[in-house]
Amino acid sequence: MIRCALSFAAGITLAQVQLAAELRLAKDCTVHFTTQEQGKLRLAKRDVYIKGMSPFERAAKIQKAGPISTDQYIEFIQKQVVDWSDADQAKLLKIIQAAKPKLAPYAKHFPRDIYLIKTTGNDEGGAPYTRGTSIILPRQRLGQSAARLERLFYHELFHILPSQKPLPAG
């Protein structure tokens, strides 16, 4: 009986953690907080961003002399991915929840899934950026005020939109 109750409680706790790791931004769009492993996999994709970089650009981004191969660059950026703290997730969940009504007119243009990846910031000189439907946020940016973080979320979100369905004219 006790073992059954403990298993049930553990299942509920696991479900709560999983629910906290994502939030519906719109009817057909979910925002996901990636784990460290998920973030590494997403950043390792050889997408347009990675394929478009020159060896010099890769070297400049990781602040190393000499040409840097694609594999070296991917290995470096993967090492920058960190797990989300409960406090950072809670802060962003609150911001995303508040953003939902403001973003409702654009909801049909959102991708099905948006992924939030937290990094050390060493991957882009401390700057947030997007890749596909991922928003990469350096940990030092998460210490900003809620108002600045909300503006940052909108800014990065609107980088994702042009790669999705076209926005209406006017």
Domain limits for position 134: 22-163
Q: What is the pLDDT of residue 4?
A: 47
In a domain, 168, yes or no: no
- Residue 170 domain flag: no
Tell me how far apart the alpha carbons of residues 149 and 161 are, in angstroms, rounded to a whole number.
19
CA 106, 110, 115 angle in degrees (round to 5)? 135
- 121 or 161, greater pLDDT: 121
The pLDDT tens digits of the residues spanning 38-72 come to 999 999 999 999 999 999 999 999 989 989 999 99
Residue 5 resides in a domain:
no
pLDDT digits (tens, 9 = 90+) for 92-131: 999 999 999 999 998 889 999 999 999 999 998 899 999 9
> Does a structural domain hold residue 8?
no
Query: What average pLDDT does the chain have?
Result: 86
- Domain-embedded: residue 110: yes
Query: What confidence tier does 163 reach under pLDDT thresholds 50, 70, 90?
Result: low
Instruction: Tell whether 16 is covered by a domain.
Output: no
17 domain-assigned: no
Total domains present in the chain: 1
Supply the pLDDT for residue 19: 40
Any domain includes 57 = yes
